[in-house]
Structure formats: C-alpha cells, structure tokens
Structure 1
Amino acid sequence: MINIRTDGRRRTSGGGRVRSRGVKVLAVVLAVVLTTGVVAGWALRRRRDHDTAERVAARYFAAWSNGDLDRMRGLAADPPADFDAQHRALTIGLAVTSIALDPRPVVRSGPDAAHAPFTVSRSLAGHGTWTFASELRLGRVEGRWRVRWTPATLYPGLKGGGQWTVGQVRVPAVTLSDRAGRPLANEGPLAPYLAGIASRLGDEEERIVPAVVLRDGGGPPQRVKLFGTVKGRRVRTTLDRRVQAAAEKALAAAPGRAAIVAVRPSSGEVAAVADGLGGLGAFGSGYPPGSTFKVVTAGALVAEGADAGTGADCPASTVTAQRTIRNDEGHALGRTTLRDAFAASCNTTFAQLAVERLGPAKLAASARRFGFGTRITPGTDAADGGFPAPRSGAELAEAAIGQGRVLASPLLMASVAAAVADGSWRSPRLLPPDLVREGGGAVPAPRPVPGTGALRAMMRAVVTGGTAAGAGLPDGTSGKTGTAEIASGPPHAWFIGFRDGLAFAVFVETGGSGPKVAAPLAARFLAALR
C-alpha cells in the first residue's frame, strides 16, 4: 500500500523492504544478463578458436582415415552430389584394402586461404601399394574454415568422375622424347625413325604389366601407376617439336612423295625429319642429287684457289670428254663469274671445270669432306652417300653436276648445306654421341671444309638473283636448287639451304623442277617456322 505524506512526500508501508527487494531483483537480472553474455561470448570465441584451418584439416584427415564420408562431407564447402560416389569408385575400382594418410603442416596462402600437402598410400589387393602426393585446399566460407574439395583432392589433375581399374598395359623398353624432354608420339612420319632408335637402344622386348588405369570424365585411358616393374628407359632425341611441326605442315603441301630434313649446323643434330617417302626413305634411300651437288664441286674449285668472283664460261651447251652437257632450257650467260654460274645453275660451267681443272681425285676428295663415302650412323638405319670413282671423263662431267652414279639421301644433303653454314661437316645424328655409339654407331670428328665463305656467297646469290629468286624464300636464306634427271619419268626436285642456325634439305620424288617445286616447299617450311 502506498501512502501520501502531508508534507507532499510519498511514503510506503513496510519501510525500505520494497526498495531493497527491487534492487535485489534488478541485480539478479543484470547478473544473469552479464553472465549469459560472457558465456555466449566465451562459447563463440571458443568455437572460433576451434574452427581454424589446422583443426579443420586435422578433423578431415581423421575422418578420411576412418572412412567417415558423412563427416568428410560435413567439413567440405559445397561438396558435389557425387562426393561419396567418387570416393567409392576409386576404392571399389582398384580393390583398395587400406588407406594411410601422412599430412604435412598447413600452409597459409592468405587470410582466407590455405592448403595442406599430404601423401596418401593405398594398398591394392594382389598388387601392392600405390603412393602419391596431393594437397587439401581450405578456405574461409562465411567466417568459418572449410575444405574446398575438388576431384583433384583424390588424385592430382583429376577433373571429373574418374573411372578406375587395374589393367594390363604394354611398357616399351625405350620411351623417346624431343630435345626438351616432351614425349614423342609413335605415329605419323616420325614413327619408323622412333621405332628404329628404340630397336637399337632397347635391350629387351616390351613388357606387359599390371597398372592403375584412369579414364577421367570419359577421356582416353591413361596409366598412372605401374606395378612389378620400373618404367621403360627414357631417352631424349635431338628432335625439336617446333621444327618438326613446321616440316610436317610444309610436307602436307608437297605434290607427291617428299621429305624434309632439318639439321643444326653447329652440332649435326637432326631437328626434324618429315618423311613421306615411306619407311626410312629420308635417311635410307639414295637419289641423284642433281645440281645440289654443285656445292661439292664448287667446294673442290675453291679448295684449289678459286673464289666467288673467279671468271668462268657458261655456254648453253658444251662437249667435254666426249660428253655433251646442256643447261636447263638452253640458258647461257657467256663469260661470267663462278658465283653467277652457280646461281644460274650452269651445268656446262661445272662439268667443264671438273674435267679441265679438277680431275677425279680432287672432286672425290671434296665429296669425302662433305660426307660422301662416310658411314652415317644417326641412331637408326641410314644410307651412305655414294660417290663411286669416275671411270672416264664423261662420268666425271656427269658426277660434277650430281648425275650418273652419284647418290645421296635427303639427310646427307641437309648435312652438306649444314657444312657450308658452319664451316665443318658433321655427321648428322638423332641422339647424343654416347647413345649413337651405344647403338653400334660411330660419330666421326668434324671435317673442316675450306672456302665456305665463298660457298656461302654463291648460295646466297641463288636466292637473291638465281634459280630460287622467285620461290618466296624469306630474307637471309641461302641455298641451292636441283633438278635431277632419272632414267624414266619426271626428274626429282631438290632444294638445300640454311637460315637462322638451321640447315635443311627438301626433296620431292619425281617432282619435276627444283626451282618451281622444291624451293617453294622450302619457303613454306621456313614460313611455318616463323
């Protein structure tokens, strides 16, 4: 009951007990509120402290070790609908009997991102253990750390629902790669060459072994683990994938059977071999080189003291050693220089000079300097260049222009161009020297070629104003055309040359004209390189 005092002040019955009770109630309420806030704050702080990247990773690995897919899924941010199915597909497909995880410390990559490297070992029934490294990615999602799961968590690089099996696969004794270590496909124009190298280096036949096979998202099957054997021997070749692709692209435009071989002049390394001749045709076949052999004949003349400016005659036809020699289409320059006769590919000039100034021995010596008569062992089967000793003046005249009994492969003629570019002839090879020797071959010492400065000037003139001037060859190219007559049918078309540290030979079997067919094909090759 509340009383009103006469002095205007309010009075209560019971004195200060009501006031005391109210204060006590208020204090209790405040205490409860404060206590609740403290407890809630402590719980929230405890939950946040517990929810670290390290602890989430530890809980995930523990659940994974126990096969607790529900717990794993709960720790993942937005797991896919087939999360369980992807794990079971690997386990069932490979008959996994146990799994062991070896986590590494969590690595922070930012305030909201981290990853935990780990190694996983799975025991596969009847086959042994498959071990590999992967990583668990983590991130902060809505303030909480979670596992950012992707199929790559199961296996590095996995993109979709993988199909896992243990199958039987063939393991070659030798696996070949390009000069950068990238695998080479055992198909296309390179296939016979890679098979030839493998057969020389392989000390045993291919093996059939069990392997983990993955088909990722419907893609082609890939073997990811071999059991019971080591991988086949890996060997780097000298082949350059970029140069090889350019050669194959150019070869596709060839009018018939053709080949392109590219060689590095400084080492003799074969950078590319695009072969449409069949088998090892670019290495193992012999064809008359035609006027490309004039590089060798000019080399003999230079070795005897001539130079690019030496005077020479270029009539439309000439009779030398009772053999009539004619120029293509009856062209004539009259009195000219050795360089201009070479650029115009004057048969009459070189046949007459070979008979009158060189003789068989000096021309044969020049041929040997350029690799003719040398056993060539590039790492697979290859034919030696044939330069039989001329038995008469007529044979000497024919040999001087690459006809008669002179034979060469595209590989050998690429090495002829390389010798001019470098100043020394080097035996062309597809493998490092020690592996060439291991395969039963030999690597001859480089052979200096005298007067290559004059030869380079002559080959440059072929492109700037001679028979290859209209072929579309890029600036800086030097070369020599060749049109090699054969007993029946159209002649073979040749072009050999060099540019930017690469020498090459282009050959088109019965292609007709070297200037009109082989030189434009070389231009396509060089354009594809750019």
Structure 2
Amino acid sequence: MRSRGLVVLAGVVVLVLAVGVGAALVLPGRGGGGPGPEKVAADYFAAWRDGSFTRMEKLVAGAPANFADQHRALSRGLAVTSIDLRPGRLVHPRPRHAQQDFTVSRELSGRGTWSLRSVLRLGEVDGRWRVLWSPSTLYPGLKGMGSWRMREIDVPLLALTDRDGRALPEGGPLEPYVGELTDRLATDGDEAEAEDDASPWAIELQDGGGPAQRVKVFGDRTGRKIRTTLDRRVQAAAEKAVQDAPGEAAIVAMRPSTGEILAVADGLGGRGAFLGLYPPGSTFKLVTAAALLGDGMSAGSGADCPATVVTAQRTIRNHDGRSLGRASLRDAFAQSCNTTFARLAVERVKAAKLAASARAFGFEGPVTPGVPASRGRFPEPESGAELAEAAIGQGRVQASPLTMAMVAGAVADGTWRSPRMVATRLVRATGDPVRPSHAVPDAAALRSMMRAVVTEGTAAGAGLPSGTGGKTGTAEVGSGEPSHAWFVGYRGDLAFSVLVQGGGSGPKVAVPVAAAFLGQVR
C-alpha cells in the first residue's frame, strides 16, 4: 500500500457557514443562577463558530489543559478550511442534565467534506449550567488526545450497501466498521490503478497510544457493490437511541434466525461495540440460568432470595437490599436476585458446568462478524468466591455489546449462530473461520424468564413494546467509578444489547434507551 501525508496548510481559517441554534426545547433550564442550558449551548456553538477556544473553555466544567490543543490537532492534521455546525434539539434526559445533538461538517483542503454527528452534554455544576466536555464531543467515542491525518490509499473500487442494495448512511458511528470491512474484503484482483488526482484518501485517527483506525474514505469507490446485512431503518433507530442516551452508549442488533447483524450504533469509540470488554453484570444471569436449567431445575423450582447471603466466604448483596424470601427461579431472575444465583452456582452448578454454559453462548471462542471482534472472557473460577462473582457477571467475566447480543439472540431462536455483517462466504474470504451453529437447551424456559423481567420484573413499566423479553444488568467496576448500565433482549426476530458506559442503573438508564430503540423499529 502506498501512502503519503497530506501537506498541512500553514494558516487554517475556520469558518462557520451555518449555525442553527433555533432548536425546539423540550424543557426549560432549571439551573440555580446564571443562564440556562439553552443559552450556554448557544454561546458554546457561537464561540466555536468564531474559533474562540478561550470562550469555549470558559463554558466547560473542568476543561482539560489541552482543550484547545485537541481542537487544533484535528484542524491541522486534516487541513480543515471551514466548518459548518448545525445544532439539533436540546433535551433533558434526566434532572440537572441536558444534551444537544449536532452535526459538524468540515471541508478538508480539496479532499471533500467530512460530516459527522455528535452530542454536546451539559449539566449543573455548583448551581450553574456548564458544558460537560470530553474528547467524544469532538469525535464520538474519542477517549484521549487524538492524532489525525489524511493518507492516500489503495483500495478496491467497491462500495458496501445495506441489505437492500442502498447506500449506507454517512457521518455516523457505523463508518469505522464500514471502512474496516471494506479493507478486509479487498483483494488484489479487485484493485485498479487510478490517476493521482482520483486516488482515494482516508482519514486516520490514532486515539492516544492505540492503533491507527480508518474512520472515513474519500474517492471513487463505485465499482463492485457488496451487500451487507445492515438494515437502514434499524440502524437509524439504534443511532437515534444512542445519540439520546445519557452517556456514551452502544447498541448492537442482530437477527437471531440467521446471525445477521442489522445495526451497530457505537458511541464508545475504537469500535468498542465489538472490541470493548466490560463486566456484563446481571445480564450474565442468562448464562447462569441456562446452567441451572441444564442441571435439572425448572423456571418454577423453589429458590431463596434473601437480601444478603454469604457463600464460599463471599458476601453477596441484592441491589437496594431487595429480598423476596422463598421464591421461584423465574421470580428470582425477574427481580435479578444476586443472592439466588451466586449461592446456587456455588452449591449446585460448580465451576466446570458454568464455564461450559458460557462457552455454549459464545464466550472464549472466536467471533468473526467480518471485522475484528473480541471474544467474551470467562476464565474458569479458581475458588468458590470467584464462582459466586462470576455467576452474576462480575469478577473476571467480560463481554462486549456484540457478545451479549449473541447471548440474547441464542435464547430468542434456540440456536447459537455466529454473527456476521456480510454473507458467510465473504466472512471466510477475509480469512476468518466461521463457528458452526448449535442448539441452546431450555431456550423456551429462558424466554419465559426474560418475558417476566419485562412484565413484572426489573424492566416492568419502562415502555418496552409487547412481546419483548430481556435482562437488565448493573455492572460494578470498582474504584468508586459508576456502574455500567446494561439491557439485553429480543422481540420477534430481533435481538439486541444496550450498554451505557458508566450509566449507573440498568433498569433506570439502559432499559429506557432500549425502549426508545424498539419504539422506532416496531
């Protein structure tokens, strides 16, 4: 592959061509003193329009020392000549917090226009509204100081489309996945020589010390078309739900009957929906419940749910001190009783059986959707205390949003299938093996337990459409950091996982995001 860096213009003039700040406001500002969130957001965009990082920084709560440098790094690295900001609607996802989605379009020194969507988050700090800035405001999912550049590339003249042959949406969180998939489908036979003035160029981002990732390709790629499994309607609904989520979030949606991935809305950065690993919390109780059913229990079997239990010298507590007393396994699952599942794992299932159940749901095996993806991790517990933690998705258990969408899909269909973004033959063409499908025992019982979560359990009354089954999760991460909010589930031939990183409560945060998503795809 040949490459040459784009010459950076000496004086980058940043112009704002249009700023639409006349957005419809859902709720008035509720700050103590000073201007409300509407005015703060408008002032922030106005300062960005003028290229005044000093004014922008004054509106930010706890702005990092390199705030201005992060903006300049992007403009200089990509030779930005103008910028167009278009704010959308300002909403209040929870008390004392507001957010406003916006589209930013940058002209890149003769290489084209790069448009992307992001979110400006605001909150009350010491009684005054301030911008809650993070690098992801500049580029969705960015974690640290980004290094940006344009590179000339050799790519095949091909274009990826949605499942119906239509162009995929641009400027959103899907682009890094499309760029990577295009590269992996490239073969020598597809490449064509192009004149210098028609050569494709790519935006590459290196986030901190991580590897460089291609996030956008410019140039003529209208030759051979390859259909993906992505559904534009489902993708749009997932992106909107993630954009409105109270924090950095991701949704992965798939078709359980085929393994086809229908949508990837990733606000985590670094293709975190496939590559990121997080404790799955109580969503992992699906795996533990499957092990218990395989060991002879039924959904109606008796199960104790005290507020606290000590098992294998490990103290396990239920969220908010909840206690059901003597209940059924179905009820304990619906109310997400940590004490029930931790004790039954230690006293009945044992480590080897729980590890086997995890492997049956795709943990510790290769996952090959067509682009790189992390395998879910379930190190076999070495002690009873570790087993108690693992049974409720804590300790050393880790999963990506893709992993947990696979788990939900396997329950929904009764068969575990390898997820894929293109036809199976094309996945194999990338050099990845495709794992064979296999049946999931007791799937019908698991579905009844997931429906109970929605009708009478931790996800009840959250506006989920009829026919939805699911499992909530609030995954503790330690060190005083906020928990991750999870919800995984299915409705018909659609399975999904929702993760709000650091969002706190799964029932209070992730479930409403899922309800918003499903409400758009009904």
Out of 476, 491, 498, which is 2:483 matched to?
Answer: 491
RMSD: 2.1
Superposition pairs for residues 83-94 of structure 1, below 5 Å? none
Q: Which residue of 2 aligns with 1:383?
A: 374
CA distance in 2, matches of 1:438, 1:430: 13
1:361 equivalent to 2:361? Answer no
User: Residue 182 of structure 1: which of 136, 141, 166 is its match?
Assistant: 166
| One-letter identity of the residue aligned with 2:381 | P
> Among residues 494, 499, 502, which one is paired with 1:507 in the alignment?
499
1:85-104 to structure 2, matched below 5 A, reads none
Classify 1:232/1:478 alpha carbon distance in 2 versus 1 (closer, same or farther; 3 Å): same
| 2:513 counterpart of 1:521 | yes
Equivalent residue, structure 1, for 2:312: 321
| Structure 2 residue 160 is the aligned partner of structure 1 residue 202 | no
Q: Any residues of structure 2 matched to 1:2-151 within 5 Å, and which?
A: none
Measured after TM superposition, the shift of residue 487 of structure 1 is 1.7
Which residue matches 1:156?
none
Q: Aligned with 1:259: secondary structure?
A: strand
CA contact (8 A) 1:237 1:430 kept: yes
Aligned-residue offset at 1:211: 10
Residue 361 of structure 2 contacts residue 407 of structure 2 at CA under 8 Å; is this kept in 1? yes
Q: Which amino acid aligns with 1:473?
A: L
Give the SS at the match of 1:365: helix
Instruction: Give 1:446-485 correspondences, 5 Å limit.
Output: 446-485=437-476
Equivalent position to 1:289, from 276, 280, 291: 280
Write the distance in 2 (CA, Å) between the matches of 1:369 and 1:206. Answer: 44
Could you list the per-position Cα deviations for residues 35-69 of structure 1 after superposition, in whole angstroms to 9, with x for gaps in the alignment? xxxxxxxxxxxxxxxxxxxxxxxxxxxxxxxxxxx
Question: Equivalents in 1 of 2:375, 2:196: separation in Å?
Answer: 43
8 A Cα contact 1:268 1:427, kept in partner: yes
Shift in Å, 1:304: 1.3
Following the alignment from structure 2 to structure 1, what is the Cα–Cα distance between the partners of residues 169 and 323? 50
Structure 1 residue 252, shift from structure 2 partner: 1.2
The answer to whether the 8 A contact 2:498-2:513 is kept is: yes
Query: Residues of 1 paired with 2:279 and 2:414: CA distance?
Result: 24
Q: Distance in 2 between matches of 1:171 and 1:343?
A: 50
Contact 2:302 2:327 in 1 (8 A): yes
Q: Please say if residues 156 and 187 of structure 2, whose CA atoms lie closer than 8 Å, have aligned partners that are also in contact.
A: no
| Cα distance change, pair 207–502 in 1 and its aligned pair in 2 (3 A) | farther
- CA distance 1:492–1:239, change in 2 (3 Å): same
In 1, the alpha carbon distance for the partners of 2:248 and 2:232 equals 22
Q: CA deviation at 1:431?
A: 1.1
For 2:364 and 2:429, locate their aligned partners in 1 and report how far apart those are by CA, in whole Å.
22
Paired with 2:340 and 2:455, the residues of 1 have a C-alpha distance of 20
4+ residue segments displaced more than 4 Å: 169-172, 204-207, 209-212
Is 1:392 matched up with 2:383? yes
Q: Which residue identity does 1:526 align to in structure 2?
A: L
Query: For residue 241 of structure 1, what is the amino acid of its counterpart?
Result: R
Q: Is the 8 A contact 1:172 1:207 kept in 2?
A: no
**Equivalent residue number for residue 40 of structure 1:** none
State yes or no: 1:419 paired with 2:410.
yes
Check whether the contact 2:155–2:183 (CA below 8 A) recurs between aligned residues. no
Larger Rg: 1
Whole-angstrom distance in 2 between the partners of 1:463 and 1:207: 56
Which secondary structure state, in structure 2, belongs to the residue aligned with residue 208 of structure 1? coil
User: Separation in 1 of the partners of 2:368 and 2:412?
Assistant: 21
Contact kept in structure 2, 1:280 and 1:381, CA below 8 Å? no
Query: Whose helix proportion is higher, 1 or 2?
Result: 1
SS of 2:226's equivalent in the other structure is strand
1:404 corresponds to which residue?
395
- Could you tell me which amino acid in structure 1 is paired with residue 419 of structure 2? P
Q: Note the C-alpha offset of 1:208.
A: 3.3
Residues in 2 aligned to 1:307 and 1:206: alpha-carbon distance in whole angstroms: 60
The CA distance in 2 between the partners of 1:284 and 1:173, in whole Å, is 28
Equivalent residue of 2:399, what SS? Answer: coil
List per-residue Cα deviations over 1:195-219 (Å, max 9, x = no partner): 111111112567534999xxxxxxx
CA distance 1:402–1:182, change in 2 (3 Å): same
User: 8 Å contact 1:414–1:496 — kept in the other structure?
Assistant: yes
* Gapped regions of structure 1 (runs ≥ 5): 1-168, 213-225
Question: Which amino acid counterpart does residue 426 of structure 2 have in structure 1?
Answer: L
Q: 2-side partners of 1:391 and 1:483: how far apart? A: 24
State the one-letter code of the partner of 1:208.
Answer: A
Secondary structure of the structure 1 residue equivalent to 2:473:
strand
Whether the 8 Å CA contact 1:173–1:207 is kept in 2: the answer is: no
What whole-Å deviation, never above 9, does each CA across 1:309-336 have from its counterpart, x for those lacking one? 0110000000000000000000000000
Report the residue type matching 1:316 in the other structure.
Answer: A
Tell whether the 8 Å contact from 1:174 to 1:233 is kept in structure 2 after alignment. yes
Aligned to 1:346: 337
CA distance in structure 2 between the partners assigned to 1:430 and 1:245 by the alignment? 16
CA distance in 2 between counterparts of 1:479 and 1:376 reads: 22
Helix, strand or coil: the match of 2:310? strand
Flag structure 2 segments of 5+ consecutive residues without an equivalent: 1-152, 199-219
Q: Tell me by how many angstroms 1:186 deviates.
A: 4.6
Separation (CA, whole Å) in 1 of partners of 2:374 and 2:274: 6
Alignment match, 1:304: 295
Q: 1:406-447 CA deviation, whole Å, 9 max, x = no partner? A: 000000100100000000111111111100010011211112
Does the CA-based 8 Å contact 2:253-2:262 persist in structure 1? yes
Structure 2 distance, partners of 1:504, 1:451, is: 20
What's the CA shift for 1:307? 1.2
Task: Please report how far the alpha carbon of residue 495 of structure 1 lies from its aligned counterpart in structure 2 after TM superposition.
Answer: 0.1
Question: For the Cα contact (< 8 Å) 1:508–1:518, is it kept in 2?
Answer: yes
CA–CA distance in structure 2, aligned partners of residues 206 and 317 of structure 1? 66
Secondary structure of the 1:396 match is helix
> Aligned partners of 1:352, 1:303: CA distance in 2, in Å?
17
Given the superposition, is the C-alpha separation of residues 209 and 185 from structure 1 closer, same or farther in structure 2, using an over 3 Å criterion?
farther
Could you say if the C-alpha distance between residues 171 and 461 of structure 1 is closer, same or farther in structure 2, counting changes exceeding 3 Å?
Answer: same
Report SS of the residue matched to 2:174: helix
Give the aligned residue type for 1:507. L
- Residues 207 and 292 (structure 1 numbering): CA distance in 2 closer, same or farther, change over 3 Å? farther
Count of aligned positions? 348
Q: Which amino acid aligns with 2:435?
A: P
Within 1, Cα distance between the matches of 2:158 and 2:356? 39
Q: CA deviation at 1:481?
A: 0.2
CA distance in structure 1 between the aligned counterparts of 2:325 and 2:195, rounded to whole angstroms? 72
Residue 256 of structure 1: how far off its partner (Å): 1.2
Q: 2:240 and 2:407 mapped to 1: Cα distance?
A: 24
**Distance (whole Å) between structure 2 residues aligned to residue 451 and residue 310 of structure 1:** 14
Q: Distance in 2 between matches of 1:186 and 1:376?
A: 26
CA contact (8 A) 2:304 2:324 kept: yes
Deviation at 1:173, TM superposition (A): 3.6
- The amino acid that maps onto 1:492 is H
* Structure 1 pair 232–309 and aligned structure 2 pair: CA distance change class (3 A): same
